[in-house]
Structure 1
Amino acid sequence: MYPLRPHLLALSVALALSACGSNTEDQAVVIPAAPADQGAADTAAVPSATAFVDTVATNQRGDARYATLDTNAAVRLLGGFLNVWKPLTQIVDAGVTAPANGSFPAVVASTWTGVPGDGSPDGTVVNAAVHQANIDYVVKATSGRTADQAVQAYLDDRRGKGYSITDGMGPLTAAWRSAAQQTTTITSVAADATTVLYNDGGNNTGVGGTANANFGSVVDLVNLVGNNASTEPAKRFYKYARPYRWSSSVVLLPALVPAKSTTPATDGGYTSGHTAEAVRDAVAMAYAVPERFQEMLSRGLELGESRILAGMHSPLDVVSGRMLGTASAAANLADAANAAKKAAAVTQAHSALMAATGTTADTFATYAQSGTVANDRFADYATNKANYLRRSTFGFAQIAATNAAAAVPKGAEVLLETRQPYLSDAQRRVVLKTTALASGYPVMDDAEGWGRLNLFAAADGYGAFTGNVTIAMDASKGGFNAVDRWRNDISGAGKLVKQGTGTLKLAGANSWTGGTELTAGTLQGDSVSAFGAGDVYNSGGTLVANAPAALKLAGKYTQLSGSTILELDLGGAAAGSAGSLTVTGVATIGGGTLRIKFANGYKPKAGEVLNVITAGSLKGKFNSITVDGFSTVTPAYSSTGLTLTLG
């Protein structure tokens, strides 16, 4: 249900304005109807496939010798690999006890050596092109890795993953590590690392529980997502060798030669355990501190790429690790039994980190994003986005249909719970659906949709609008409930309805056609096409133009009287047009306020004339006009625009 709008029928509004200027509509203005409702909101149905979150307990490390697609959630999740590589029927060693509730699957009396080409019946390459591309990628990556990449690859291999990825916290890293009481003994590459195996003597994620009164709940949350998350069953089922065993051209990092397993048969490459652990830890940390959501997810995938640069894993090993790590984290976060633990961790994380950084609820988010490329390698948004996409597919060619509809796994919506707290679970599922990666990539087209989730893009809001998309934000709750920004390029035929007291900023190259209705709070356009291709109707809030050039409304703009405000933030690279408003259709002003602010150091002089609104047709006037720093303002209305002369 949507609030009743008495202005749905055309209304005649008398205008009584004392401001100077004139146009042809001084007598009365007919207020048009709001953009038509576009019907029910989009949904993302739960797939019919067996849900990972419901069966995660089947993924036990001790099941590694008899796990199958039918009996193990992780093996089933990663089953797309069977289109690339088919292992022999699962091998069971003599003397192994069968599961209590079942019998062993069919077995072959053989021992897998894990060394391709040695004559052992390890399996069969099903898609030679994909398999070769998988190994060739590692050959190229390891042959061309830089000195910095080599150091990072070593540290990401030998340090505890929970410790290693906390540098994704940027300006919060030191505070996080101190609060978590994290330690590591691996701080550099020792001179004799090529012959001596160094193991981390630190405590990985830190000190949890009551032993850490200020941060123990946060550490517990990071540890919690590791429940039922083993990669061993998948490794033993798929029996796919590490890349340096497939090709002698793979240049294993010399400092990691001592870390090579001497028992290849128990050292499968698919799936990457380091990646799975890093991704699930990153998801937990992003859940606790959503102000670093995209940066933490980027760090998790970066560690996965380090496994390739080290020569320890192939891209498909890493992609599957991302999938399993994400699903494992979601399963534990979605478990109702963990609700209180999640809430405690989020509260404690913010309390402790604010205290450590001297910030408040109003300044914490800004501080969390205050790093620069000089001291935070995740400070550049565009670079993060590009790397996240690259590390999601590693450039593989698509081998199946590229336009299959996206599925959203059961429980996956929990991954956005703290990042988009103002959305319902159903809306978060639609966000995941409309931001999903394309179909057809090797391994990634699992039946539930874990492989195609793009959490980086999902953090930037909807990718498309279908039906009415109603966003209600409550600024009194703070954080993202008060202010959020969507940076995706939003398409679709739906309509955006903004309600509540919070501020939603739109920064994409948007093209949705169903229009925008602002009933309360603030809706800010940070890009030229922020409001898509439909009409914009402001019936009770503040519409802000903060684009780097004139904000363009492709349809009509209507502003009602009362508390409605049009705010133009003038300035920027093109000071004469940045923040101004261009309306292709009719701009109907039924009153309200026009507020002019100046951004980026722009400050006009007395006597200057500001061209603030250009329209195909301008009807009506504002009840009041205010300009920061000027007490006298003379408006000049015309049939196609409004200029202001500053006193």
Structure 2
Amino acid sequence: MPRFSPIACFTATLSFATALTPAFADTLTLPPLPQGLGHTDSAPPPAGVIAYVDDGATNQRGDACHATVDTNAGVRVLSGFLQLWTPRTPFVDADQDAPAKGGCPAVSKSDWSGIPGSPTDGVKKLAKLHEQNIAYSIKVTGEHTPERDLAAYLDDRRNKNASIVDGLGPLTDAWRKGTRQTTTITDMPADATTVKYDDKGNNRGVGSNDNPDLGKAVDLIEAGSADGSTEPAKRYYKYARPYRASDKVRVVPQLEKAKSDKPAADGGFPSGHTSEGWRDALVMAYLVPQRYQEMLTRAAMLGENRIRAGMHQTFDVLGGRVLATATVAYNLNRAQYAPLRSEAYQQSQSWLMSQTASTDGQGLLQAAHAKAQSADAYADYAWNKAFFEPRLTYGYKPIGDSMKAPSVPKGAEVLLETRLPYLSPDQRRVVLKSTEIASGYPIISDPEGWGRLDLFRAADGYGAFDGDVAVQMDADKGGFNTADTWKNSIFGKGKLTKQGSGSLTLTGENSWTGGTVIEGGALVAKSATALGKGDVYLTNGTLTIDAQQLKVGDTMTLGKDATLSVATKTSSNVPSLAVANALFIDGAKLAINPKDAAGWKPGQTVKLLSAKKIEGKFGTIDAGSLKITPIYGKTGISLRVDG
């Protein structure tokens, strides 16, 4: 193939893009598009199990006396607990008149005496895990501070939605206003050690019958908890509260009056507070995806506060999350709630935009993150992730096969519907598959895989390309369709194709090998390995380099209708783009967006890119107000500042 002369210079200015005379042969033979794997990935529901979204209605509070793994979806989704625990006797109610009051009959005597250290109503398996479970409660309750006690007290005595709503951060006040939410628990009363205070507020707020602002949102949050009772599971598993298992567990003194005086009717597994908090948080994350991960973190914090209160253990909190996740997916998939789901989402977005003077979903995203951590406890992404991820397993090691294939429950994809709206339902299932945790962990190893879902990671996009992925983003649809960021580190052998007018940013340490194709919109690289290890091919659209250096693992091709946009610094002696193999430039546009324009002085030379070999050239160059001269070499291109 003909080569260009070693050095060719020409000038570009800001006021207009300068057309360039070819410095190479008239024709340029371009390589083919990356081939990838030639197929997409899939995540079919697990076979041979009853889907919770089809059977969630069996989890009825009134069936608590007779619920079993075979008859009750709530008990079944928590059946991983049976690896650690065998309930010994049917439920016992100390009140002999219980059947007449709607309770359970006293069918046998329990040895669950309620004395610390005494046997509970079952047989322990894998005793060391039970020791680890109670040890965490002893440790955490022993690390109490006034601030932690207050948070634990509020999350215990307040209605759950009134508690978790602060996960919305800067949007909290607007949400409370729109839902007309009230609470009577705002602090810890001085006499709380002797008086039990209950929240007399309205919990989730006022529904649509009397509230045109966020009434539909309140309705959907209420709907998300339908058939979500923890009572059948509590009465089936009969696992003790931590303060009944060990006298070393400290209960927040102001919560002593909240303890039940009927141990046999007061099971700890799963945590009801945790489950309700998670149910509400998941629906609110659906309605306000601009705070998706923050709401997940708030739900995890409520669970942690149940342990800090001395009221629950790690087993209980893990169970509460699993049951809540399945319950919300079940309800969001119900046909009767389909219109409400759409109406509530649109209402939530419109109301919050009006209250924050935002004109679109991207503006609302900025408003949702407008405060520092001093004013928004969940403002720090890194802190949220570091808090959330360990609490998916609470540090337990797998007790079963940790190498099972991923398992995505039927209907789970609805949980990402508003967070990743530009993906198809099948693609969202693959996202869940590629981000879930390993199999085999205690408590959360349910038959379908609800406990393995890592929604925090899933909100950051794919974790692997085990098939080719085409992302079609329509900026006109607004919100995350306009712009989104994938923060996961992505591996695999598949290919990524960016389509549509929207902008997708990649920040991970990526290593997929199937290649990257940009056909429209923008793909923004914010890490050195943002585009993986394969070929990169721009047929249209823009590749923006917003990192000190982008490394392309193989060949790179810039088509005539494509744009390479580079945000570079004069202070860096590192090329903004390093191509491991050949670079082909078929008249593409180069846009220079200097991060430190004031530092660009006449006479300076800035390294732009390097490659094993370079063929072709840019058709136009736009450097803003700067006057630059590109200097082409066989293996590199530099920019000389002329003024």
> Is the structural similarity TM-score above 0.5?
yes
Distance 2:275 2:574 in 1: 45
Q: Counterpart of 1:411?
A: 411
**How far does residue 114 in structure 1 lie from its aligned partner after superposition?**
5.7
Matches within 5 A, 1:22-61: 25-48=24-47, 49-61=49-61
How much has 1:478 moved relative to structure 2?
0.6
Name the counterpart of 1:585.
581
CA distance in 1, matches of 2:216, 2:250: 42
SS class of match (2:492) = coil
- Name the CA distance, whole Å, in 2 between partners of 1:636 and 1:399: 61
The 1:304/1:579 distance shift into structure 2, 3 A limit, reads farther
> 1:378: Cα distance to partner?
0.9
Offset, 1:603: 4.4
User: In the alignment, is residue 568 of structure 1 matched against residue 566 of structure 2?
Assistant: yes
**1:163–1:184: 8 Å Cα contact kept in structure 2?**
yes
Q: How does 1:109-258 map to 2 (within 5 A)?
A: 109-111=108-110, 113=112, 115=114, 122-258=121-257
2:202 counterpart SS class = coil
Residue type at the aligned position of 2:617: K
Distance 1:408 1:36 in 2: 28
Contact 2:68 2:76 in 1 (8 A): yes
Looking at both structures, which has the greater relative contact order when contacts are Cα pairs under 8 Å and sequence separation is at least 6?
2
Aligned counterpart, 1:463: 463
CA positional deviation for 1:108:
5.8
Matched with 1:6 is none
What is residue 623 of structure 2 aligned with on the other side?
627
Task: Give the deviation of 1:501 after TM superposition.
Answer: 1.0
Amino acid at match of 1:616: K
- 1:646 matched to 2:614: no
Distance in 1 (CA, whole Å) between partners of 2:598 and 2:158 is 49
Q: Which residue of 2 aligns with 1:4?
A: none
Match of 2:552 in 1: 553
- Contact conserved, 1:515 with 1:533, CA < 8 A, in 2? yes
Q: For residues 420 and 605 of structure 1, what CA distance do their matches in structure 2 show?
A: 44
Q: Which residue of 1 aligns with 2:600?
A: 604
Q: Is the 8 A contact 2:92 2:265 kept in 1?
A: no
| TM-score, length basis structure 1 | 0.92
User: 2:450 is matched with which residue?
Assistant: 450
Residues 376 and 602 of structure 1: is their aligned pair in 2 closer, same or farther, counting only changes over 3 Å?
farther
Do 1:484 and 1:505's aligned partners in 2 also have CA atoms closer than 8 Å?
A: yes
Match of 1:373 in 2: 373
**Which moves more between the two structures, 328-337 or 292-301?**
328-337
Return the alpha-carbon distance in structure 2 between the equivalents of residues 567 and 322 of structure 1.
44
Residue 116 of structure 1 deviates from its aligned partner by 6.3
Paired residue secondary structure (1:30)? coil
Q: Residue 497 and residue 164 in structure 1: after superposition, are their counterparts in 2 closer, same or farther (change >3 A)?
A: same
Between the aligned partners of 1:325 and 1:59, the Cα distance in structure 2 is: 12
8 Å contact kept, 1:476–1:482: yes
In the alignment, is the contact (CA less than 8 A) between 2:511 and 2:529 conserved in 1? yes
Q: Is residue 118–residue 245 contact of structure 2 (8 Å, CA) maintained in 1?
A: no
- Which residue number in structure 1 is paired with residue 487 of structure 2? 487
User: Residues of 1 paired with 2:329 and 2:364: CA distance?
Assistant: 26
Counterpart amino acid of residue 594 in structure 1 = L
Q: Do 2:290 and 2:368's aligned partners in 1 also have CA atoms closer than 8 Å?
A: yes
What is the rounded CA distance, in whole Å, between the counterparts of 1:198 and 1:579 in structure 2? Answer: 64
Q: Report the RMSD for the aligned CA atoms in angstroms.
A: 2.5
- Residue 392 of structure 1 and its aligned partner are, at CA, apart by 1.2
User: Deviation string for 1:203-239 (max 9, x for gaps)?
Assistant: 1111111211111001111111010000000000000
Preserved contact between residue 545 and residue 579 of structure 1 (Cα < 8 Å): no
Q: Secondary structure at the match of 1:598?
A: coil
Give me the whole-angstrom Cα distance separating, in 2, the residues matched to 1:11 and 1:35.
24
Helix, strand or coil: the match of 2:593? strand
Contact 1:44 1:433 (8 Å CA) reproduced: yes
Counterpart for residue 436 of structure 1? 436
Give CA-to-partner distance per residue, 1:26-63, whole Å, 9 cap, x none: 45422111111412211111112111111111101111
Question: Counterpart in 1 of 2:319?
Answer: 320
1:500 corresponds in structure 2 to 500
What is the rounded CA distance, in whole Å, between the counterparts of 1:11 and 1:328 in structure 2?
A: 65
Q: CA deviation at 1:89?
A: 4.4
Distance 1:555 1:116 in 2: 67
Note the alpha carbon deviations across 1:311-344, whole angstroms, 9 max, x for none: 1000010001011111111111111221110111
Alignment: residue pair count: 624
- 2:622 counterpart letter in structure 1: T
- Kindly, what percent of the aligned residue pairs are identical? 47
Taking the aligned partners of 1:225 and 1:375, their CA distance within structure 2 comes to: 29
Tell whether the 8 Å contact from 2:518 to 2:537 is kept in structure 1 after alignment: yes
Residue 80 of structure 1 contacts residue 445 of structure 1 at CA under 8 Å; is this kept in 2? yes
1:451-481 residue CA offsets vs partner (Å, 9 max, x unmatched): 0100000000000001211111111101111
Tell me, in whole angstroms, the C-alpha distance in 1 between the residues paired with 2:223 and 2:575. Answer: 47
Give the CA deviation at 1:505: 0.6
How many angstroms does 1:606 deviate by?
3.1
SS in 2 for 1:363: helix
Q: Any conservation in 2 of the 1:226–1:328 contact (CA below 8 Å)?
A: yes
State the alpha-carbon separation in 1 of the partners of residues 276 and 556 from structure 2. Answer: 50
Q: Distance in 2 between matches of 1:114 and 1:530?
A: 59
**Structure 2 letter corresponding to 1:319:** L
TM-score (norm 2): 0.93
For 1:172-217, what per-residue CA distance to the aligned partner results, in whole angstroms no more than 9, with x for missing partners?
Answer: 0111111111111111111111111011111111111121111100
Q: Is the 8 A contact 1:545 1:567 kept in 2?
A: yes
Answering whether residue 614 of structure 2 is matched by residue 615 of structure 1, we say no
Aligned amino acid, residue 165 of structure 1: I
Q: Secondary structure at the match of 1:350?
A: helix
What secondary structure does 1:38 align onto?
coil
CA distance in 1, matches of 2:596, 2:83: 54
CA distance in 1, matches of 2:263, 2:466: 51
The DSSP-based 3-state class of the residue aligned with 2:342 is helix
The 1:201–1:12 alpha-carbon spacing in structure 2 relative to 1, beyond 3 Å, is farther
AA in 1 matched with 2:577: L
The correspondence for 1:637, drawn from 632, 638, 642, is 632
Deviations 1:130-158 (Å, cap 9, x if unpaired)?
A: 11111111001101122211111010000
Tell whether the 8 Å contact from 2:113 to 2:120 is kept in structure 1 after alignment. Answer: no
Cα drift, residue 372 of structure 1: 1.0
Amino acid at match of 1:596: I
Matches within 5 A, 1:259-278: 259-278=258-277
Distance 1:124 1:527, change over 3 A: same
Is the alpha carbon distance of 1:149 and 1:121 closer, same or farther for their aligned partners in structure 2, counting shifts above 3 Å? closer
**Rounded Cα–Cα distance in structure 1 between residues aligned with 2:117 and 2:498:** 64
CA gap 1:447/1:575 in 2 versus in 1, 3 angstroms: farther
The alpha-carbon distance between structure 1 residues 89 and 113, as it changes in their structure 2 partners (threshold 3 A), is closer
Q: Match of 1:520?
A: 520
Aligned to 2:583, the other structure's residue is in SS state strand
Supply the distance in 2 between the matched residues of 1:22 and 1:641 (Cα, whole angstroms).
19
CA shift for structure 1 position 402: 2.2
Q: Distance in 1 between matches of 2:192 and 2:238?
A: 29
Retained in 2: the 8 A contact 1:22–1:636?
Answer: no
* Equivalent AA in structure 2 for residue 528 of structure 1: A
Partner AA of 1:644 in structure 2: L
Query: Structure 1 residues 577, 233: CA separation in 2 closer, same or farther (over 3 Å shift)?
Result: farther
Moved more, 31-40 or 424-433: 31-40
Q: Does 1:78 align with 2:78?
A: yes
Q: Residues 18 and 642 of structure 1: is their aligned pair in 2 closer, same or farther, counting only changes over 3 Å?
A: closer
Q: Contact 1:544 / 1:568 at 8 angstroms: preserved in 2?
A: yes
Contact 2:90–2:108, Cα closer than 8 Å, also in 1: no
CA spacing shift, 1:555–1:134, aligned 2, 3 Å: same
* Aligned equivalents of 1:600, 1:199: Cα separation in 2: 58
Q: Which amino acid aligns with 1:344?
A: E
| Aligned residue runs from structure 1 range 95-106, under 5 A | none
